[in-house]
Amino acid sequence: MTLLRTPADIGIADFARATGNTAKAPAKKEASKKRLRGVGTRAAEGAGGGLIHSPGGKLLAKTFALPTPGVAVAPVYPLADRLRLIDQLSVALDSFYVHLERKKAIYGFDPVRALGLLRLQTPALSDAEFHENLVQILARVRDRHVMFFGRATYGIAAVLPFTIETCWDGEGEIYLVTKTDADTVFKSLRPGARVSHWNGIPIDRYVRLTANVFDGGNEAAALARSLAFLTKRPLTQFGPPLEDWVDLRFSFDGVELQERFMWIGFDAAAAPSYPGVGRNLTGFGGDLLLMDLQNARRVLTAPHSFDAAPPKAPVPPSLGVPVILGSIARGVIDYGSVTTSHGTFAYVRFWSFRANDVDDLVNALAPVLATLPQNGLVFDIRGNTGGYIAAGERVLQLLSAQPVVPTRFQFRVTDLTRAMVDASDRFIKWRPSFVEAYRTGEAYTRGIPIEGEDADYNKVGRKYSGPVILISDALAFSTADMFAAGFIDNEIGKVICTDGNMAAAGGNNWTWDVVRIFNPDFRLDGKLKVDFVAGSLSVEIIDAFNTAGVSLSATATLLPGRVDDGDTAWTIHDGSLSHVVRDQPWMSSDLNVYLGRGSSGLDDLPNGVHLSLTMRRALRVRANEGRVLEDVGIVPDVLYRMTVRDVMEHNQDLFERAGQELSGGGLKQSEVEWQRALLAPTEN
């Protein structure tokens, strides 16, 4: 990542401030002035706060004033919680995180050592300093699957009332305002404005500086993420922005202009429901922050889309503009056609790979493909937020002329990962590999499909026989990375990428509570369930605890069992200690015991704190067999430069180019030279 400097070089405190240094809340009487400054009508309600409704009256979000400098806030990280959080992060990275040694070798940074040093300093740190230190350490891991959301008293996000995107005008890259918030009144700014400076810093330079806060595994991913979150900042990860305001310099029709904007707090009441994992606890690969971002953009720029729209009269399709005929799989998939000067082609857009069951997406898409034009398919996964890995990979069979070989997944071999695999039959396929690795000193297990066997990814077979073009970008994440790699490895068709690479997030991420579920401190014979159901701490239960090295006192009490997603959990209170016993038939026939602090060092995280990490790494197949997807990503067939027409007018040039590829057209000589220059460093 030669164009980016490390967070230490630029001072991450400038971009990850957790408290203070934000704009004062203007009073009501300043409402008219605020509109002229571009703050908009939402911020004018109350003391910088208000509600956002759709035109039909549906509550979508609330806005609020960010905290003013010097205003005291309640402590959010007591010392005991800080120490527990550092300890659990250390265990997570040191004993479970699959990419630890690889990341240390690539970036020369040891996050476990850094957490140890932070533990020594933490009693003297403010809440803001503690939070930003954690953000800095985890950002330097350079893995978007390592996600930490801390406590924030401010809300979900801080927003500005416009969106900026990048494109090319001739041979120069430019930054354009492409969308503005629906009910904001601006002094001068409007879509199409060309942005040159952000608070006096050239906009391209500012985007590169803030890219160091984001955990992209390659330069393209870090830059794309920096730009995507430029005007929608997640507060639970970074805290309020450093800037009290943003002075935006831009031009329109050749006239240089400048306008000031204040940050506004934002909480989406219509936030997307994150995928219910059900029993797919360990098969997820996705980006929750990007899901939030997409929803926030929809709330702010298209609130009408949340209302039931009246039927529109049919109109002739414009060249290069997809005509969406329907939506399936609960809005995950849009399908239709796109007409270009090279013909009319099928069009499918996957916004994510969210699914409840592994065959949901295949079963939803298969019958639709036969209704679409058969001379070529544009398969669009730009901005795809990921989801159920096996469900996404099984879609490939619908497009493939040969049996699909799915991605392989490896665990890192440690004492704790081996104990975890031994504790649940869910990972039975990996057990022999752990035994072999311990004998041979291998650092990773054998690569195995994440769910099922190869035959399970080919049960339905090919349902579209025409040529297929895949379109992606650097925001398409995790399961989308694996889908694109599988698309290439199984030789389905060409890939057009609007950035230099995809996110290169090559792994399967688990939340910490899932890690905890699969790592009980010990087990009890399933026959003891009768005693727990009866509400009795029987002699047999007490003896079983003693055998495991845990003594229950005479004052220990058993609370009634509670049903939790089909499981049953009982809590034993013993003085200041609390132990949880879970009946999980899908995991094992035994009862699993989770101590407040077990011998493995695992514990629950403090309330209000979220952590996820990469537990298994993805390996590519066929011609790329054994190649790691993380950090490396893919080599697309076409590196496409988005045009002004693309970002302002529904991607017409992009789809025109896809139609050219589907009809057998080639690259222009200037494009060949540009692509050779970009691809050469990747291939060496």
DSSP 186-235: -SS--TTPEEEEETTEEHHHHHHHHGGGS--SSHHHHHHHHHHTSSEEEH
Give the whole-angstrom CA distance, residue 503 versus residue 225: 9
Give 68's pLDDT tier (boundaries 50, 70, 90).
low
pLDDT in tens, 10-21: 232 332 332 222
pLDDT in tens, 494-535: 999 999 999 999 999 999 999 999 999 999 999 999 999 999
In 3D space, the residue among 498, 505, 527, 535 whose CA is nearest the CA of residue 617 turns out to be 505
Give the whole-angstrom CA distance, residue 533 versus residue 244: 57
Token pair of 304, please? 């009408």
- Checking if the pLDDT of 592 tops 80, the result is yes
Contact 224, 17 (CB under 8 A): no
pLDDT of residue 12: 28
Give the whole-angstrom CA distance, residue 577 versus residue 249: 58
The one-letter code for the residue type at 471 is: I
- Checking if the pLDDT of 233 tops 50, the result is yes
Contact 520, 423 (CB under 8 A): yes
Please state, rounded to an integer, the average pLDDT across all residues of the chain. 85
pLDDT of residue 292: 80
In 3D space, the residue among 253, 203, 294, 167 whose CA is nearest the CA of residue 654 turns out to be 167
Biggest distance spanned by C-alpha atoms of the chain = 85
pLDDT in tens, 321-340: 999 999 999 889 999 999 99
Q: How many residues does the chain have?
A: 684
Give the whole-angstrom CA distance, residue 225 versus residue 222: 5
pLDDT in tens, 279-307: 466 887 777 777 788 888 888 888 888 88
- Checking if the pLDDT of 681 tops 60, the result is no
Helix axis angle, 203-210 to 219-228, nearest 10°: 110
- Checking if the pLDDT of 672 tops 80, the result is no
Give the whole-angstrom CA distance, residue 206 versus residue 464: 44
- Checking if the pLDDT of 31 tops 90, the result is no
Pairwise pLDDT comparison (135 vs 277), residue with the higher score: 135
pLDDT of residue 48: 53
Per-position DSSP letters for 264-289, written without gaps between them? EEEEETTPPPPP--TT-TT-EEE-HH
pLDDT of residue 302: 86
In 3D space, the residue among 640, 644, 498 whose CA is nearest the CA of residue 169 turns out to be 644
